[in-house]
Amino acid sequence: MVDGEKRSNSLLRVVKGLFKAPIAKELEELIDLDTQIVESRLYRFLASDLKNLIEQKGFKEFIFIVDSYELIGENQKFSPCNSDEWLKNLIFEMGKESLFLILSRDKIAWSNCNVTWKSQIKFQKLSKVSENGAKRYLKYHNIENIELQKAIIKTSALNPFWLSLAKYSYKNRVNRLPVVKKDILKSFLETQKDEVVKFLKILSHTRVFTRDLIDNISIHFNLEINNDTFFNELISFDFIKNIGDEKYTVDIVLKEELTSIEKDKSRDYKTFLFNYYENILQSLNEELIRNSPKVVDEVLEEAWFYHKGDINE
């Protein structure tokens, strides 16, 4: 036996001693398993470690905090229901005695994959953050200037949306200190590329949007973009919410702010959006209509929404 194998077996004996019998046996079996299978079982060892810690310390309550949930699987090709499979498995493994606090930009849609989660998850929207939390948040995002931090905190009134927007507005730049919320928005628009601002102004008139709509906007309004890169950058903004089924929506606060800026363009944008959905309706074949009534209903509802809006203006 070579030295490397001796060291591996010695290490295995030590590590096995840290786990209870069932987990220790599974750990020994990992040597002969494929890497992907090993990775899929790692949550069990984490759960075992956590349970041992709870038992040793005599904790009566245990809270596991997951921050920035939306970053899980961000750059990996997983289906929506599998990107965070390890986390769901970990929760099941820990059992009802543990509480998991998950901080996320978007609403977690686990019930779309398994209806069981519907009764297991309680959602709480954050309406205001603490002043210390806001300071840490701004500093984390490279807003180091103390006077700027104070101005943002005062202007935003500790509202998560305005704090998040300030992250983009003042990153690595001071410029003018904000006095009112619209100063934060103005600074944000000044820092973005023209095509980003144009897209956001159009999308502020939508209820939902998809990658296909982005492609159509770029063609109709002659906006030159790298479609793949641009779309990924666009949906990475905190104010763009993933609502599932590859559909997204713009935060209601930003919608209201942007639609008030270009009221004279509102009719043009809504006419384009109505025509977009009307074209989809005309392209539907009988088989799709019969097999996908939900899709048809959604397209009809969107087309009527923009048609109604056009009539009322």
Q: Which single residue is written with the structure tokens 């005309």?
A: 282
DSSP 95: -
177, 148 contact by CB (below 8 A): yes
What the block records as the tokens of 193 is 């590329």
What is the model's pTM? 0.65
Please list the residues that pair with 244 across neighbouring strands. Answer: 247
Q: What is the mean pLDDT of the chain?
A: 81
Lowest model confidence (mean pLDDT) among 125-139, 176-190, 191-205: 125-139
Q: Which residues of 78-112 are buried (b: 16+ CB within 10 A; e: fewer)?
A: eeeeeebbbbbbbbebbeeebebebeebeeeebee
pLDDT at 36 over 80: no
Q: Provide the Cα torsion 294, 296, 301, 307; round to 10°.
A: 170
Helix (H, G, I), strand (E, B) or coil at 241: strand
Name the one residue in this structure whose structure tokens are 């998560």.
Answer: 160
Name the more confident of 6 and 131: 131
> Which helix (H) or strand (E) segment is 248 a member of?
strand 247-250
Phi, psi (deg, nearest 5) at residue 102: -110, 120
Q: Distance (Å, rounded) from C-alpha 45 to C-alpha 23?
A: 7
CA 156 to chain centre: 22
pLDDT beyond 80 at 307: no
- Catalogue the E-assigned strands of 30-177: 62-66, 98-102
